[in-house]
């Protein structure tokens, strides 16, 4: 058993799980299909060792990880999704508003070509926000499930700025394609589609088009709850 001094270290160390996840990038992208069923979305939300990204009320991105459903059983039929907030050794257990998190999202953001043409945060910030009555070009859900290669890039960057993470994601996508383009069954389009959805979702967070997903500290014994996520 390998011990880790932080959740970040632990998540980055999941080599086999990360490689498996990166072979199923369409699964992460598809989990955010705004037309998918509630059961499909809940399955993705309850992924072991998973990471989910949410928007807060300051147009920042919050990273939550290791979601666990404490309900959805015969004894506790109501879904109660616990997550860990913070990737240090003293992560805080919280309960996420799963209904809001999985809410379908249709918004108007700047065209993908305009976002991808930007090479700095200042250029991204200068993009004009489209009229809200325009054609929705981002269809997803309120939260984002990053594939492992993207998740690791976000963990290493340690920023909550959606504009900064757009640049991180574009570079991560390029690097992932360059590294794996000769692998058997690798599909560059899967990577590009995932990155494209993420950069547009980040722009939606920046322009306050992605609603805040609320969460609260678990009202039960926090130490007891945290012990259900024992760090290997």
Token pair recorded at residue 227: 């012990």
H/E stretch holding 39 reads helix 38-45
Top pLDDT among 231 and 165 is at 165
The pLDDT of residue 73: 66
The pLDDT of residue 223: 46
Q: Which of 8-17, 54-63, 137-146, 173-182 has the lowest mean pLDDT?
A: 8-17
12-21: pLDDT as tens digits: 998 888 899 8
**pLDDT(86) > 50:** yes
Please state, in angstroms and rounded to a whole number, the distance separating the CA atoms of residues 174 and 119.
14
Token pair recorded at residue 117: 């043409």
178-225: pLDDT as tens digits: 999 999 999 999 999 999 999 999 999 999 999 999 988 755 544 444
Backbone angles phi, psi at 217, to 5 degrees: -65, 135
CB count within 10 Å of CB 207 equals 18
**pLDDT(232) > 80:** no
Token pair recorded at residue 84: 């860990």
**pLDDT(28) > 60:** yes
The pLDDT of residue 220: 55
32-51: pLDDT as tens digits: 998 888 778 888 888 878 89
pTM above 0.75, yes or no: yes
Please state, in angstroms and rounded to a whole number, the distance separating the CA atoms of residues 124 and 158.
19
Give the model's confidence band at 75: pLDDT under 50 very low, under 70 low, under 90 confident, else very high.
low
Average predicted confidence (pLDDT) for the chain: 88
* Residue of 229, 201, 192 lying closest to 138 (CA atoms): 201
The owner of tokens 């509630």 is 38
Average pLDDT over residues 58-80: 82
DSSP states of 132-188: TTS---EEEESSB---HHHHHHHHHH----HHHHHHHHHHHHHHHHHHHTTSTT--H
């Amino acid at each position: 058993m390998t011990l880790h001094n932080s959740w970040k270290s632990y998540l980055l160390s999941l080599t086999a799980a990360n490689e498996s996840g990166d072979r199923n990038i369409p699964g992460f992208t598809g989990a955010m299909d705004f037309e998918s069923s509630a059961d499909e979305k809940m399955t993705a939300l309850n992924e072991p060792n998973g990471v989910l990204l949410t928007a807060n009320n300051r147009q920042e991105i919050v990273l939550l990880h290791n979601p666990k459903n404490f309900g959805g059983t015969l004894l506790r039929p109501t879904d109660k999704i616990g997550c860990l907030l913070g990737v240090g050794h003293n992560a805080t257990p919280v309960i996420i508003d799963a209904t809001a998190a999985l809410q379908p999202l249709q918004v108007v953001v700047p065209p993908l070509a305009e976002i991808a043409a930007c090479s700095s945060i200042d250029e991204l910030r200068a993009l004009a926000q489209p009229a809200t009555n325009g054609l929705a070009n981002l269809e997803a859900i309120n939260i984002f499930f990053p594939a492992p290669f993207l998740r690791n890039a976000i963990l290493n960057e340690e920023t909550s700025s959606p504009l900064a993470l757009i640049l991180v994601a574009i570079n991560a996508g390029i690097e992932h394609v360059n590294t794996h383009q000769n692998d058997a069954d690798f599909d560059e389009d899967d990577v590009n589609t995932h990155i494209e959805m993420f950069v547009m979702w980040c722009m939606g967070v920046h322009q306050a088009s992605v609603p805040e997903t609320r969460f609260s500290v678990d009202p039960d014994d926090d130490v007891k709850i945290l012990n259900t996520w024992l760090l290997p």
